[in-house]
Amino acid sequence: MTPKKPPKHLNSTGRAFWRATLAEYDFEKSHDFQLLEQAAECLDRIEQCRAAVLKDGLFQNDRYGRPCEHDALKVERAQKKLFLSITREMGLSLDRQEPQKRRLY
């Protein structure tokens, strides 16, 4: 199968992940590409959250003027969990030393 181009809406981080993953793994089913797209979108969102936190700082004031965690940190955590879940479901190894595991489905 010829490598598919990354979706146009992905940012540079998502596109780099897309290309690197397709260079290392062979996908045969269309749902693999849908999961890959979702994982790449997670990385883009994580990058956006980091940029927001760098700009605004770790804490913001709530409506009562008390410091609280930046909302982007919560989104970043959720996206990291989702990314790890997707990569596990796809059977991707984030450790370059570990050989690729075959999925059972």
Q: Is residue 7 part of a domain?
A: no
Q: Is residue 13 part of a domain?
A: no
Q: Is residue 22 part of a domain?
A: no
pLDDT at 64 over 60: yes
Q: Where residue 101 falls among pLDDT bands split at 50, 70, 90?
A: low
- Averaged pLDDT for residues 29-44: 95
Q: Is residue 45 part of a domain?
A: yes
Tell me which residue range forms the domain holding 71.
30-90
Give 16-28 pLDDT, tens digit per residue. 999 999 999 988 8
Phi/psi at 38 (5° precision): -65, -40
* Both structure tokens of 7: 């979706």
- Residue 29: predicted pLDDT: 87
Give the Cα separation of 43 and 105 in Å (integer): 26
Q: Is residue 41 part of a domain?
A: yes
Domain count, the chain: 1
91 in Cβ contact with 100 (< 8 Å): yes
Query: Which one is predicted more confidently, 105 or 17?
Result: 17
Residue 76 has a CB neighbour count (10 Å cut-off) of 20
93 in Cβ contact with 102 (< 8 Å): no
Q: Is residue 79 part of a domain?
A: yes
DSSP 4: P
Q: Is residue 15 part of a domain?
A: no
